Amino acid sequence: MREVHQDFLGDLTATDSLLSGHFAMTSGRHSDSFLLLPRLVAHPARLARWLDKLVPAVTAGEAEAVGGPALGAVALAWALAHRVGDDCLALYAEKTADGAMAVRRGFGPLARRRVFLVEDAMTTGGSLLKTQEAFEAVGSTVAGVGVLVDRRAPDAAFPLPVTSVLRLPMASWPPEACPLCQAGTLPLVHPKQLA
């Protein structure tokens, strides 16, 4: 098991997906580490090994579709559904003007089935909860969640079963309690805005 863990960490290093510094995450929290997983997703051969670790959770949950939050998980949903088999659909939910998520673009009728949610990284699970609500609003039953990297604390709870390829807890703080902000030595970076 330790060897497999090192292989996946090696993928993060080789693709320059694991960053160190001072970051503002999508959740609003600050961290000294950030996972820029689109860099991993850009390497299909490496990504395939990660997704193969999630396929058993999709089939065990008897999911008929894989869905995720746009934009980041669209490619993941498609690639994972493809690895599951010909009859598995790939769907997504997208942000609405009020910050919620919605299943649109005619996917509603297709989504009325068991859906397995996928995301690249999980810190608080907020985007996955919004995605769950969006799919359930159109009649889906959410079968579970799969993430490439689960960065939550080991004792963190979540209302759905979560399968992760790599569990890599990373410190994060609300902005007002961020020791990096207090030290003032590192600039705050919004990594999703990096070229």
Summarised one tens digit per residue, pLDDT across range 121-163 is: 998 898 999 999 999 999 999 999 999 999 888 888 899 999 9
Enclosing domain of residue 20 = 2-193
Q: Flag whether pLDDT at 2 surpasses 60.
A: no
Q: What are phi and psi of 151, to 5 degrees?
A: -100, 10
Q: Flag whether pLDDT at 195 surpasses 70.
A: no
Greater confidence (156 vs 116) lies with: 116
Enter the pTM of the model.
0.89
- For the segment 46-93, what is each residue's pLDDT rounded down to a tens digit? 999 999 999 999 998 899 999 999 988 999 999 999 999 989 999 999
Query: What per-residue string of b and e applies to 62-85 under the rule 16 or more CB within 10 Å gives b?
Result: ebbbbbbbbebbbbbbbbbbebbe
Beta-sheet strands, E only, within the chain: 18-24, 30-35, 65-69, 89-95, 101-102, 114-122, 141-150, 162-167, 172-173
Number of domains into which the chain is organized: 1
Query: Rounded to an integer, what distance in angstroms lies between the CA atom of residue 14 and that of residue 105?
Result: 36
Q: Flag whether pLDDT at 173 surpasses 70.
A: yes
Query: Rounded to an integer, what distance in angstroms lies between the CA atom of residue 36 and that of residue 184?
Result: 23
Going by C-alpha positions, the residue among 74, 57, 73, 65 that lies closest to residue 140 is: 65
User: What's the CATH code of the domain at 99?
Assistant: 3.40.50.2020
In sequence order, the 6+-apart residues with CB closer than 8 A to the CB of 141 are 113, 114, 115
Q: Flag whether pLDDT at 169 surpasses 50.
A: yes
Per-residue pLDDT, 156: 85
- For the segment 4-24, what is each residue's pLDDT rounded down to a tens digit? 577 899 999 999 999 999 999
Give the chain's end-to-end CA distance (angstroms, integer). 35
Q: Flag whether pLDDT at 1 surpasses 70.
A: no
Q: What are phi and psi of 163, to 5 degrees?
A: -110, 125
Query: Rounded to an integer, what distance in angstroms lies between the CA atom of residue 77 and that of residue 69?
Result: 9
Q: What are phi and psi of 125, to 5 degrees?
A: 85, 5
